[in-house]
Structure formats: structure tokens, C-alpha cells
Amino acid sequence: MRKRVPDQDDSSSSASPAQKTARVPERKAAPSRSPWWVWLKRGLLVVFLVYISVPVMLKVSPAFVKHLVYSNKGLLSHIAGRAGTSVDLSRPADFSLNHTINMYLTPEEGISLGVWHTVPESQWKEAQGKDSAWYQKSLSDGSPVFIYLHGANGTRAESHRVGVANVLSANGYHVLAVDYRGFGDSSGEPSEASLTSDTVYVYHWVKARSGDSKVVIWGHSLGSGVATNTAVKLMEQGVVVDGVILEGTLKNTREQMKSYFTRLYGMLPGFEYFFIEPMAENEIIFPNDENVKKMRSPLLFLHSEDDHVISLHMAQQVYERAVSAQSPERVQMVTFSGSLGYRHNGLYKDPRTPGILKKFVQSL
């Protein structure tokens, strides 16, 4: 007779499905965080790489040198090849210049320069709705004409540049504010030679329409270099400009680069090789200190004591050279107290500025 084997007590077999599959959840380890000193090392490495990349780029990349000097395009738009402006420069009235026309001049085939022509404030009502022909004819009304050459970065629509145009217009002057090639809506790429030749073209264009009216060239910052280059080039053509105003003037790009980079890189071996020589190699000189020794135009220097971009000392050196080449009667310098806070771009705000300009124009 076969014996029956009793069932074994197997708890696993009698357990419910839920009990079979239940597991105690495992605790996830918290993500490890790098110690603060690791982040510090990474940050210092980035700073070091940027620090050494600047002199290297200046030496090996002409495009980088031009961007540094002219700053006519933002860094990203410069890489992408887009103009560094998002505003509509064809509508000067949008910038409170309602007696201004936008136009384009062609100094050479394939190059177009954006220009704003602002008439004297007394003509603003008459100017409403007028076309380019009316504006051009108005240049011969006997009022002085100013060709305004702005500094690096931005366009003719920057607020301080519009401010200068308004001051000149209120004084009864015509103003032609020019965007150099590669700036704003002007085509082409900037170079010292092209900026100079373009301004010579603008000067002749104005003179052909302004009759016996006085024509004054006003250069601000980098534009001071364009202004003196233009005056010297015109002298080679037998033309002496009626007057030249240099605001926030640099001495030359060599000295300007020294002032920018000496504090950070002055102790770097090869400072001249990396920071100074690339200017000459890329033909970016703007030698105001040499140009004023050749010029015979009356000169007016305007400079703020607290100019944070170009030192007053540098401008005084250019002024002294100009005086030695002409005379204190033909070369004037007006400085503005640093307590006023005008810095590099704000001299147009001073209530004395209209009178200073009138006195200079009347002396021409």
C-alpha cells in the first residue's frame, strides 16, 4: 500500500501575488557635488584662456583687430556677418529728428553710405514732407554746414549723436551725420583708408551744393582720426577745410591701445609685438598727433576731464602739437569739469556748448 506524503508548509507558494512581487525600495544616492575649489579651478581656467586668447587673436586675426577698433558689429553678429543694428535708420523722425531726411551716397561702385541731413531748426516747419531735392538745395542757403563723424560702435542714431545734431541744428547749422561703410545701414567693410576716402567724397558732395557756406568737419573719438585724415588728404588736393572740431580726440591708435591694455598686459613679454604691431600691420594708425602738424584749418578741441575712454592728457598732447604748428589764435581747447559727469559722450549736454560753437564758427 502506497504511503501518502504530506504537503510541505511552503510559505512562498501560499503567499499572494502582491506579496511575491513586493520589494523594499532602494534608496538612491544623492548626486555628488563638486567641491567649491573644483569650480574655482574651472573658473580660473576660463579666465586664463580668455586672457591669453586676446593677444593671440590680435596677432593672427585681422578680422578681430578690426572688430576691436571699429566695433561696427556686435560680436555675434560680426561672426554671422550681419550688420550691428536692428533699428530702421530710414526713419530719422523716429529719433526726434523731424526736420531730417535719410539718404544714401555712393562714394564708389558697390558702396552705399547712410546719411542723415538735418536742416537748421528754424526751417523745421518748411522741411515737413520735403524731398531730397529740397534738402540738397537748402545747403546753399548760407548757413554753415557740419559733417559729423561719429566714433566707434553703433550708428548715427545713438542718443548722444542725435543730441549733437540737435544742438547744431538749434544753432542754425546744417548737419550731415554719416555712417561709415560697414556701420549701420552702410555697405562694405571699414578700414582707415576707406573711411578717409568716403569722407573726402562726402565733403566734395557737400561743397558742390553749399556754395560759399562754411563747411566744418566735427570728429568725435575715432571720428577725430577720420577728421584729421580727411583734412590732410584735402590739403593734398589744394583744399583747406574751413574748420575742424575734435571732440574726445585720441592721439593715435598705437597710444590708445597702450592705454587700453597696459594695465592688464603691460608686464606680458612681447607686449608691443602682440598689441601694438598689429595696428600698423593692419594699417590702422589714425595719427592725429602727426596730422595736426600738417593742417592749416582752424581747430577746436573739446574734452571732458572725466573722459573714461580717452584721457585728457592724451588730447592735450595733440592740442600742443597743433598750437606749435599754427598759433593759439587758430587752435583752441575747451575742457569741461569732471564734476559735471559728461565723460566721453556727454559734452553736447552742457549749456555752454552752443555758445562755444557759435564763437568758433564766427571766427572762421
Q: Are residues 320 and 344 in the same domain?
A: yes
Q: How confident is the model at residue 17 (pLDDT cuts 50, 70, 90)?
A: very low
Question: Is 18 among the domain residues?
Answer: no
Q: What is the pLDDT of residue 51?
A: 64
Asked whether 149 and 223 are in contact (CB, 8 A), the reply is yes
The answer to whether residue 112 is catalytic is no
Q: What is the pLDDT of residue 262?
A: 73
Q: Are residues 269 and 279 in the same domain?
A: yes
Range 222-225, long-range pairs (CB < 8 A, 24+ positions): 222/69, 222/70, 222/150, 222/151, 222/152, 222/250, 222/286, 223/148, 223/149, 223/150, 223/151, 224/149, 224/248, 224/249, 224/250, 224/286, 224/288, 225/192, 225/250, 225/252, 225/253, 225/286, 225/287, 225/288
The answer to whether residue 307 is catalytic is yes
Between 28 and 188, the higher pLDDT residue:
188
Question: Is 267 among the domain residues?
Answer: yes
Q: Are residues 144 and 292 in the same domain?
A: yes
Q: Are residues 62 and 152 in the same domain?
A: no
Q: Are residues 267 and 147 in the same domain?
A: no
Question: Does the pLDDT value for residue 333 go beyond 90?
Answer: yes
Q: Are residues 219 and 279 in the same domain?
A: no
Average pLDDT over residues 108-116: 97
Q: What is the pLDDT of residue 279?
A: 84
Q: What is the pLDDT of residue 31?
A: 57
78, 117, 174, 344: the catalytic one is 344
Q: Are residues 195 and 223 in the same domain?
A: yes
What domain range is 54 assigned to? 36-70+257-283
Q: What is the pLDDT of residue 50?
A: 67
Question: Does the pLDDT value for residue 163 go beyond 90?
Answer: yes
Q: Which of 283, 299, 320 is the last residue of a domain?
A: 283
Question: Does the pLDDT value for residue 309 go beyond 50?
Answer: yes
How far is Cα 178 from Cα 269, in angstroms, rounded to an integer? 40
Question: Does the pLDDT value for residue 7 go beyond 70?
Answer: no
Average pLDDT over residues 8-33: 51
Question: Does the pLDDT value for residue 84 go beyond 50?
Answer: no
Q: Are residues 333 and 358 in the same domain?
A: yes
Question: Is 265 among the domain residues?
Answer: yes
Q: Are residues 251 and 263 in the same domain?
A: no
Question: Does the pLDDT value for residue 288 go beyond 70?
Answer: yes
CATH for 96: 3.40.50.1820
Q: Are residues 123 and 267 in the same domain?
A: no
Q: How many domains does the chain have?
A: 2
Q: Are residues 186 and 214 in the same domain?
A: yes
Q: Are residues 99 and 65 in the same domain?
A: no
Q: Which of 283, 318, 352 is the last residue of a domain?
A: 283
Average pLDDT over residues 313-326: 97
185, 289, 307, 350: the catalytic one is 307
Q: What angle do CA 22, 25, 29 make, to 5 degrees?
A: 165
Question: Is 17 among the domain residues?
Answer: no
Q: What is the pLDDT of residue 58?
A: 75
Question: Is 9 among the domain residues?
Answer: no
Average pLDDT over residues 312-333: 97
Between 279 and 170, the higher pLDDT residue:
170
Between 38 and 21, the higher pLDDT residue:
38
22-77: pLDDT as tens digits: 555 555 555 556 677 667 777 777 766 666 777 777 777 778 778 788 987 654 33
Question: Is 105 among the domain residues?
Answer: yes
Q: What is the pLDDT of residue 20?
A: 45
Between 115 and 59, the higher pLDDT residue:
115
Q: What is the pLDDT of residue 259?
A: 81
Question: Does the pLDDT value for residue 239 go beyond 80?
Answer: yes
Dihedral over alpha carbons 117, 185, 130, 200 (to 10 degrees): 40
Q: What is the largest CA-CA distance in the chain?
A: 143
pLDDT, the chain, mean: 87
Q: Note the pTM of the prediction, 2 decimals.
A: 0.84
What burial class does residue 303 get, using C-beta atoms within 10 Å of its C-beta: 0-12 exposed, 13-18 middle, 19+ buried?
buried
Question: Does the pLDDT value for residue 169 go beyond 70?
Answer: yes
Question: Is 23 among the domain residues?
Answer: no
Between 38 and 89, the higher pLDDT residue:
89
221, 224, 297, 304: the catalytic one is 221
Question: Is 300 among the domain residues?
Answer: yes
The answer to whether residue 160 is catalytic is no
